[in-house]
Structure formats: C-alpha cells, structure tokens
Amino acid sequence: MKISLRYRYIIFIGILHVALIFLAFKWLSENKFYFIAFEILIIISIIFSIQILRAFSRPVEFVRSGIEAIKDKDFTIKFVPTGKSEVDVLIEVYNLMIDQLREERTRLNEQHFFLEKLIEASPIAILIFDFDERISQINGKARQQFTNETGFFIGKKLNELNVSLLNQLADLEDGESKTVKVNGVETYKVQRSHFMDQGFRRSFLMIEELTKDILESEKKAYGKVIRMMAHEVNNTLGATDSILQTTRNYLSEDSFLDLREALGVASERNQKLALFMRNFADVVRLPGPRKEQIDIAALLKNTGIFMRSFAEQKQINLQVNIKEQENLLVYADPGQLEQVFVNVIKNAVDVCGEGKSIIIEIIDSQILIKNNGLPISEEVGNQLFNPFFSSKKDGQGIGLTLTKEILLNHGFSFSLRSDTEGWTAFTIGKML
C-alpha cells in the first residue's frame, strides 16, 4: 500500500517529537527549569510543523479541487490569491489554464453548432456513420429525399436498408466517388470521406441529386438537334415530294407504269419519313400541362377498358383492378396523362406473348401497370429512360421519352423494373 506524502510527513514529525519528549524526560527531568523550557520548545515545534503541513496541503487541495472541476467539465471555477507567493503562483497558473480551456470550449461549441446548422441546411443529403459503420446522423435533405422518419436510418448499416440507392453504396470506400443511376432516371453523385473523432476515423456520405440538371441538359441538347433535323428534312421532303408527284402526273400510265410505281413508293417513303420526324418533334414541342382537378383513378380505369380490346386481339388478358369507390384526386392534364397510360399499356402488350397478363391497379396511392411478359435486364433498365433509347429492333424510343417528359412536367416520380417473380411494373408514385 502506497502512503501519501502528507501521511509520511505526519508520521515523521510524530516520531521526531515523541523522541524529543522521551529524551527531555530522561535527561532533563531532574532540572525542572530546563525541562519546562524544552517542553515549551517542543510545543512550539509541533505548532510550526502543523502550520508547515497546512501550507504544503493548501496547494494540494487547490489542485484536487481543480481536477474535480475539470472532471465535471466546469470551467467557471477560479481561485482567489491567498497572498502567499508559492500558492499564488499555482493559483495563477490554474486560473490561466481554466480561462484558456473555457475559451477553447466556447470556440469548439460555436464551431460544432455552426457545423450542425450547416449540415442540416445543406442542399446535399449527408449521412454520418459511427465507429461501427452504422448511421448515427442524417440531415434534412436526406430525410426529405429518402424518408421523413429519422429512426428509419439511425443505428443501421447501408446494406440493412431497403433503399435501392443506398444499397449500391455499401461497398464504397473512403475517398471514392461515383455517379449512380436509379430506375433509369434519377441520377446521383456520391462521395464518401472521413473525419477524425476522438482519435478514430468516422465516415460520412454526401449524395447530390443531378437528375434535374442532367434532364434539362439532355432536353436542350436533343431539342436543338431535332429542331435542326426537322427543319432540314421537312424542307427537303416537301420539295422532293412535290417534284415526285408532278413527274408522276406527267407520265402516261401505259408507257411508264414501272416508273410511276417507283415514284409512288418514293413519295410514300417521303411521307413516312416526314411522320417519323414529326414524332420526334412532338417531344420537343410538348406543351406544358394544363392542370385541372381530376380523378386519376377513373382516368386510368377508363383508359384500361379502352385498351382491353387492343390487348385481347393479341390473346393477352388485361385486368383493371380498380374499385368503384377508389379515387385519387390530383391536379394534372387529363389528355397528357391519358397519353402516358396508353403508351405504357401499349409497351406492356408489345412485350407480352399469348396467354400473358397485364394488371392495372392502385396500391397506397401509387399507380401500377404490370405484366408478366419479358423481364427487363438490369443493363436495359438503366438505359430505358435515356432519350430515344429502345430495346425493340425497330423502336424509336419516342413513347418512353414522351412519357418521361409528361410525368416530369407534372412532378410525378416513376420507375420501370422487373421483380424476382417475373412481373415488370411501371409505377407512378408521389409527386417529386
């Protein structure tokens, strides 16, 4: 057991004065005058020893009190000088240290508060992990982008969340960044980095949505090209078709029958090419939606019934599972949304063979048009909503491009994907 300096001093002083009392009693007991004088000196020595002990203990008490205050993170306690130079030097050093600690703590708290506000107000979604790679904090943009429930994230790893985008980022290493596309439409730039906390690394993710910027850039790019192509092609086709028709009319039916037929075929091809260019131009000239309050459930049901005969001609079963009392009121352009439903159902019919099914339904305020025809591969799924992409041999990709433009102009989210059970669903969900 280790004995403190205070107790060692007390033991030493005690033994010393006991020895002096014993010697005084043995040698000076016969001379009362010297005996009493020596005893008085011993008492004075004891008093001075106690005062010295107190003087030595005072700084220790200051230090102990200061340590307790620091342990309690109380940086408001300061000591008043005692007038004794040895103790006052210690008090001055302690008070100076406390002032610096308090200023540093205030500065760190202000920085932490500013950083918290900055993270919360950031237009980029931020997820901060703890030391075990579990999410410990998310900002407002992340809650808005994925879910408004903070508890959905906290304490979970990325691969434990049922979020397509986050599941793709589970293997991303610190310092890496990449661009991720979800549902073939939503595009995100993701960067993972780290910071030091209590001497250990903690990671965080920054997720920036690029969807709107990319879609606007794409539209400007292909819009300019299409307008230029349409102008040149239509001018050329109009003139050449006029020449073809005039020449055809001048030729006699008997002498130049083969040539007349060739000119007729050429004129027909010109008209088809003009129609082809008009279809492309329709995407660029798509007017803004003229919104009114409509029952989108009734519109979907009527469109499904209208397209049923088209599906039955190809031996495909089209089911409209929308209840009579089911309604979904939204502000939208009924004509444009009907065009969307027709395009989606027609595409579903094209990928289905005889005996397959198409089901139209509304679940949790989401529109689902699904079929059990040919599934969509992951590679094709990531490109489906690229401008004018088509998986069909003779497809132009105009239908899905027009569908995408209409839904984005209305502010609806949407996706097209196949599940593990063989069903491919076009989903129109909540407004963006």
User: What is the topology classification, in CATH, of domain 122-209?
Assistant: Beta-Lactamase (3.30.450)
DSSP assigned state of 365? T
Q: Average pLDDT over the chain, rounded to whole?
A: 77
* Confidence category of residue 190, pLDDT binned at 50, 70, 90: confident
Mean pLDDT within 51-80: 71
Q: Report the interhelical angle of 211-250 vs 257-284 (nearest 10°).
A: 160
> Comparing C-alpha atoms, which of 263, 238, 240, 242 is closest to residue 251?
263
pLDDT of 431 higher than 60: no
Task: Please report the pLDDT score of residue 432 as a whole number.
Answer: 40
Local structure of 186: helix, strand or coil:
strand
Q: Are 226 and 283 in contact (CB under 8 A)?
A: yes
**C-alpha distances out from residue 246 to 234, 254, 267, 271, 349, Å:** 18, 17, 11, 15, 42
pLDDT of 50 higher than 50: yes
- What's the CA gap between 117 and 314, in Å, rounded? 59
Mean pLDDT within 353-373: 88
What SS3 string covers 93-107?
A: HHHHHHHHHHHHHHH
Task: State percent of the chain over pLDDT 90.
Answer: 2
User: What are the pLDDT digits (tens) for 105-148?
Assistant: 888 888 888 888 888 888 888 888 888 888 888 888 888 887 65
User: What are the pLDDT digits (tens) for 315-335?
Assistant: 989 988 887 766 788 888 888
Task: Please report the pLDDT score of residue 394 as a whole number.
Answer: 62
More confident residue, 305 or 62: 305
Q: Provide Rg for the chain, Cα atoms.
A: 43
> Comparing C-alpha atoms, which of 337, 334, 332, 374 is closest to residue 353?
374
Q: What is the CATH number of domain 292-431?
A: 3.30.565.10
Q: Are 314 and 354 in contact (CB under 8 A)?
A: yes
Angle at 294 between CA 292 and CA 298, to 5 degrees: 160
Mean pLDDT within 392-412: 76
> Comparing C-alpha atoms, which of 310, 427, 303, 317 is closest to residue 372?
317
Tokens, residue 56? 């030595």
Strands 292-295 and 329-332: antiparallel
User: What are the pLDDT digits (tens) for 268-301?
Assistant: 776 766 666 666 666 666 677 888 898 888 889 8
pLDDT of 69 higher than 80: no
